[in-house]
């Protein structure tokens, strides 16, 4: 199967390689196309994202790559909930949550277990469910506000296995949010980023959420959340197999304007 990846980071944000190096790798891998999605500017944590002055050179570099590349290249953005960006200049954007800001403190959710534990203790009095509810509320409101092409790493809060993923109360919070999100944006990412970085054995979202996607008319988009040119299609064959096992018979593949539904 030839793949597309719409979740690619470069050295414009926290990726290891340049746009050109990633394009060359995609061509080498016989990919259908490649979309770039560097991190939007988050003022509370400027280390991992593009600075405002980098947007213009980022877009210029992608325009040049489009002209040179033998496969379609798309200029995208991973739009964080705490960013304020004009998304109209991009071919597409995905919506993600990486932070909880509470009582004026910015807590990164997916940087380290220690920071997530600090957030739970300081912002939520140690309540894992209160923290999960807050995360999913931020995500739901973000999606409703910005209406992305697709939703990135829906339950990234599980990255460090600190969430009670088997707990019915936790699952209800996640599933209820997903049902609301699907009414606004039916395209959800199957994200393998935490596997390539050694944190998890399975992609986001959790398998019980694939049931919710299936039952509520949603569609899955493969995304590797690549920060390294070797990972552009990381775990995609295995992800497709997991989708088949969940009874999902297609993936959504971007065509430059919208999604084609491709049988798997
Ligand atoms: Zn992300
Ligand atoms: Zn990402």
pLDDT tens digits along 180-196: 999 999 999 999 999 99
246 CA distance to ligand 1 middle (Å): 24
| pLDDT on residue 111 | 95
Q: Are strands 250-254 and 259-263 parallel, antiparallel or unpaired?
A: antiparallel
Alpha carbons 216 and 201: distance in angstroms, whole number? 26
Residue 68: CB atoms within 10 Å: 9
CA quadruple 240, 198, 134, 40: dihedral sign? negative
For the chain, domains (ranges, CATH) are 4-263 (3.20.20.140)
Q: Distance between the two ends of the chain, CA-based, in angstroms?
A: 9
Digit-coded pLDDT (tens) for 123-155: 999 999 999 999 999 999 999 999 999 999 999
| Alpha carbon of 9 to ligand 2 centroid (Å) | 6
Question: How close is the Cα of 194 to the center of ligand 1, in Å?
Answer: 10
CB neighbourhood size of 64 (10 A): 13
At which residue do the structure tokens 């920071």 appear? 115
The CA 39 to ligand 1 mean position distance, Å, reads: 7
Ligand nearest to the CA of 13: 2
Q: What are phi and psi of 125, to 5 degrees?
A: 55, 30
Q: Which helix (H) or strand (E) holds 109?
A: none
The ligand whose atoms approach the alpha carbon of 37 most closely is 2
**pLDDT tens by residue, 33-47:** 999 999 999 999 999
Whole-prediction pTM value? 0.97
């Amino acid at each position: 199967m030839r793949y597309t990846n719409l979740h690619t980071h470069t050295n414009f944000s926290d990726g290891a390689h340049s746009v050109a190096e990633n394009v060359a790798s995609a061509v080498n891998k016989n990919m259908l196309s490649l979309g770039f999605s560097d991190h939007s500017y988050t003022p509370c944590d400027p280390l991992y994202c593009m600075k405002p002055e980098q947007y213009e050179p980022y877009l210029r570099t992608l325009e040049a790559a489009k002209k040179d590349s033998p496969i379609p290249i798309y200029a995208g953005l991973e739009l964080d909930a705490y960013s304020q960006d004009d998304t109209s200049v991009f071919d597409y954007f995905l919506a993600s949550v990486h932070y909880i800001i509470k009582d004026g403190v910015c807590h990164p959710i997916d940087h380290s277990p220690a920071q997530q534990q600090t957030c739970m203790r300081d912002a939520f009095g140690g309540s894992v469910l209160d923290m999960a509810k807050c995360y999913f509320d931020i995500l739901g409101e973000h999606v409703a506000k910005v209406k992305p092409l697709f939703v990135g790493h829906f339950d990234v809060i599980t990255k460090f296995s600190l969430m009670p993923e088997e707990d019915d109360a936790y699952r209800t919070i996640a599933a209820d949010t997903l049902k609301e999100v699907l009414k606004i944006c039916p395209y959800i990412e199957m994200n393998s980023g935490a596997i390539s970085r050694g944190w998890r054995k399975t992609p986001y979202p959790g398998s019980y959420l694939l049931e919710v996607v299936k039952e509520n008319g949603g569609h899955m988009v493969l995304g590797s959340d690549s920060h390294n040119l070797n990972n552009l299609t990381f775990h995609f064959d295995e992800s497709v197999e997991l989708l088949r096992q969940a009874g999902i018979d297609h993936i959504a593949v971007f065509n430059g304007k919208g999604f084609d539904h491709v049988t798997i």
